[in-house]
Amino acid sequence: MSRITIADVAEALGISKTTVSRAISGKGRISEETIKKVKEYIEANNYKPNVIAKSLAQSKTYNIAMIIPADCNVSELPFFQSCMYGVCERAAERDYDVLAVYTMGNEAKNLERILINNKIDGVILSRTLVNDRLVKELRDHNLPFVAIGSTEDEQIVRVDHDHRSACRELTSFILQSVHDRVALIGGNNTHMVTRMRYLGFTDAIKAEGLKLHPELIFLNAETPESIEDITEELLRRNAECIVCMDDMICSKVLQKLSRDHVSVPERVKVASFYNSRLLDTHVPAVTSLDFDVQELGTRAADVLLDMIAGKDVPGVTLLPYRITVRETV
């Protein structure tokens, strides 16, 4: 059966194409009886509106963009891929397409071009930064957007895992089996997720009434060489446990300890604030926090598309986490 058009619907019902278009879009003055008649006909005949015609009728592009950092390292790619899969899956269910927009750090050039050309109805930010220039650009263009991650700006609608609570809980668990010399290695301090994980770590230490050891805390560790040097230094400083903020850092720490024949967990315990396939095959198995990244993308898309549709949405959506206790602690 050939695909029917608005013209076919109009001819069959004896009304104008404009009336059919208004009945589909819900815009314009038109009787409930006519709307019902049009909807019943298109449902019976499996009519699918052309996306371009639909977008013109409703002043929408039926595109959303997901901002992906071009400067992410190889180990971070699975996170953004899983997140994107969740976004695309939900967008497709609601007749939207997704544009991947790559940005370098706080550079907004690629986003600016798409905004100027009116190619999208909304944006999902897959990473949040301190003093985020992308947020300013989106606000200047008055475009709906949702951030995946934490932010200090309470006006930003965001979807995130509860990193602070998760890291506090895992650190508290670790502190039950060590005295107090728990070390922390983290990544880029301009990333909000780094700050939230750090706060969770310090929350746990304070809650236990213990002293924070600044000499055991290292942030902005982003290269394999720096992570290995820090690991060696932490052993010299008698760290009882090395907590890693993400899977890449943890894998490098474990590789260094293995090469130096340092026994885990007998000599030093190891844990990760983020689990992934990087750590799946390690022996001994790594104690870590587990998050459903695909669900993160799905929920972010839901919130954004509801915003575009004019619905009320929560300012903050926090998703659950799971602590998986394994042999390294």
pLDDT digits (tens, 9 = 90+) for 204-237: 999 999 989 999 999 999 899 999 999 999 999 9
Contacts with 187 (C-beta within 8 Å, 6 or more apart), sequence order: 194, 219, 220, 221, 222, 245, 246, 248, 249
pLDDT digits (tens, 9 = 90+) for 240-288: 999 999 999 999 999 999 999 999 999 999 999 999 888 888 889 999 9
- Rounded Cα distance between 6 and 39, Å, is 12
Put simply, whether the predicted model's pTM sits higher than 0.85 gets the answer no
Long-range contacts of 275-284 (CB under 8 A, 24+ apart): 275/247, 275/324, 276/75, 276/78, 276/79, 276/247, 277/78, 278/75, 278/247, 278/248, 278/250, 278/251, 279/247, 279/250, 279/251, 282/251, 282/254, 284/326, 284/327, 284/328
pLDDT digits (tens, 9 = 90+) for 154-187: 899 999 999 999 999 999 999 998 888 999 999 9
What pLDDT is recorded for position 43?
77
| pLDDT over 60 (residue 51) | no
Judge if 6-58 and 163-290 fold alike in CATH terms. no
The CA-based dihedral angle spanning residues 312, 162, 72, 189, taken in that order and rounded to the nearest 10 degrees:
110
Give me the CATH topology for the region 6-58. 434 Repressor (Amino-terminal Domain) (1.10.260)
- Rounded Cα distance between 77 and 94, Å, is 26
For the domain with range 163-290, which CATH number is right: 3.40.50.1820, 3.90.550.10, 3.40.50.2300, 3.50.50.60?
3.40.50.2300
pLDDT digits (tens, 9 = 90+) for 279-316: 888 889 999 999 999 999 999 999 999 999 999 999 99
Give me the CATH topology for the region 63-161+293-322. Rossmann fold (3.40.50)
Q: Tell me what the pLDDT averaged over the chain comes to.
A: 88
What residue spans define the domains of the chain? 6-58, 63-161+293-322, 163-290
